[in-house]
Amino acid sequence: MQRFSNPVLMKELKLRFRAFKSFSGLMFYLFLLFIFVGGFLSVFTQFTGTGFFRPSESFIMFAVISVLQMALVMFITPGLTAGAISSEREKQTLNILLTTTQTSIQIIIGKLLSSIAFLILLLIAGLPLYSIVFLFGGVSPSQLITIFLFYLVTVVAIGSIGIMFSTITKKTIVSMIATYGAMIFIGAVTAFFFFVGWQLDNIPGNTPTPPIGGSTPNSPITYFWAAINPGALMLTILYPPLENELSNITGISIPIWITYLIFYSLVTVLCLWIAIRKLRANMKHNR
């Protein structure tokens, strides 16, 4: 068991979960979700005068809560991970940490898992609000499980990107700017490229001649931008017919969740590998 122990992870968990700002952040996070759910229920039950809540309206609330929670997670994750290593460097405690018996892998993984643990706490704390949706129907448990698995993959990938920038940069502010820039690229720029590719594919002069049988010509670049966009995957989870519509647009029938999982798994491994290699780069250079 000692081989698998990680003192860095234990220390980070104790410091993070004992800090007042962690629980104040959790309270603020739940307060935002509570305001939205309460307002949504009030609008559809009292202000309309119907006095009941239809399953279709319940699904709309579930969809909006899921998108809102994804946006909050993507906004919070860089703030938790972008300063994991750079803050130690700024406080001049990184060299002390590197002189311990902990390996670079233990340090990087410990920092990452402590941040992910807090984010998982945020997601679990929001489950009671999701339970309200199940009271009115319209949502299957499999959709909820799929959404949370999507959150987990996304959080790990974003956390790895933040850890990487925190390791290769000397200032926390620079690391946070770079990480949030990566989030803007993942969330907004990829969507922009998808719509640009879609429009270019629909230009008559640029549209290739369909093959025999009338099937849609392949557009792998357009498919790739949609497959790595968290919003696109979220929409296909919430509205499965959109998956078929995307296949008709790009001509590629591979479910985007497969490409999303492969791509962000590779991103996670690459970012962690860079962070582990660069953590002691200056020490090796000085030697």
What would the DSSP string read from start to end of 153-190?
HHHHHHHHHHHHHHHH-S-HHHHHHHHHHHHHIIIIIH
| Whether the Cβ atoms of residue 58 and residue 238 lie closer than 8 Å to each other | no
Please list the rounded mean pLDDT of every run of 10 residues in the chain (287 residues). 66 78 81 79 63 68 83 84 84 81 85 86 82 72 86 92 90 90 91 86 59 58 90 87 84 88 95 89 51
Say how far apart CA 219 and CA 217 lie, in whole Å: 7
Q: Pick from 226, 225, 231, 222: which is nearest to 202 by CA?
A: 222
Largest CA distance in the chain: 75
Q: Exposed/middle/buried for 271, CB within 10 Å: 0-12, 13-18, 19+?
A: buried
Q: Cβ atoms within 10 A of the Cβ of 240, count? A: 10
Q: What does the block give as tokens for 214?
A: 């009338």
**Residues sharing a CB contact under 8 Å with residue 265, sequence separation 6 or more, in sequence order:** 153, 157
Which stretch of DSSP H or E encloses residue 29?
helix 20-42
Helix (H) or strand (E) segment spanning residue 204: none
C-alpha distance from residue 207 to each of 13, 224, 270 (Å): 54, 18, 36
Element holding 71 (H helix, E strand): helix 55-81
The total domain count for the chain is 1
pLDDT, position 137: 67
Given this model, what pLDDT does residue 4 score?
A: 53
Q: Give the CA distances from residue 5 to residues 16, 91, 99, 110, in Å, rounded to whole numbers and listed in that order.
A: 18, 25, 18, 10
The confidence score (pLDDT) of residue 285 equals 47
Residue 168 and residue 278 in contact, taking contact as beta carbons nearer than 8 Å: yes
Containing structural domain, residue 43: 2-286
Non-local CB neighbours of 200 within 8 Å, separated by 6+ positions: 206
Q: What does the pLDDT read at residue 265?
A: 94
> What is residue 2's DSSP assignment?
G
CA–CA dist 210, 276 (Å, integer):
48
What confidence score (pLDDT) does residue 139 get? 76
Question: What does the pLDDT read at residue 157?
Answer: 93
Straight-line distance from the first to the last Cα atom of the chain, in angstroms, rounded to the nearest whole number: 34
Contact predicate 188/103, CB 8 Å:
no
Sign of the Cα torsion 9, 10, 11, 14 reads positive
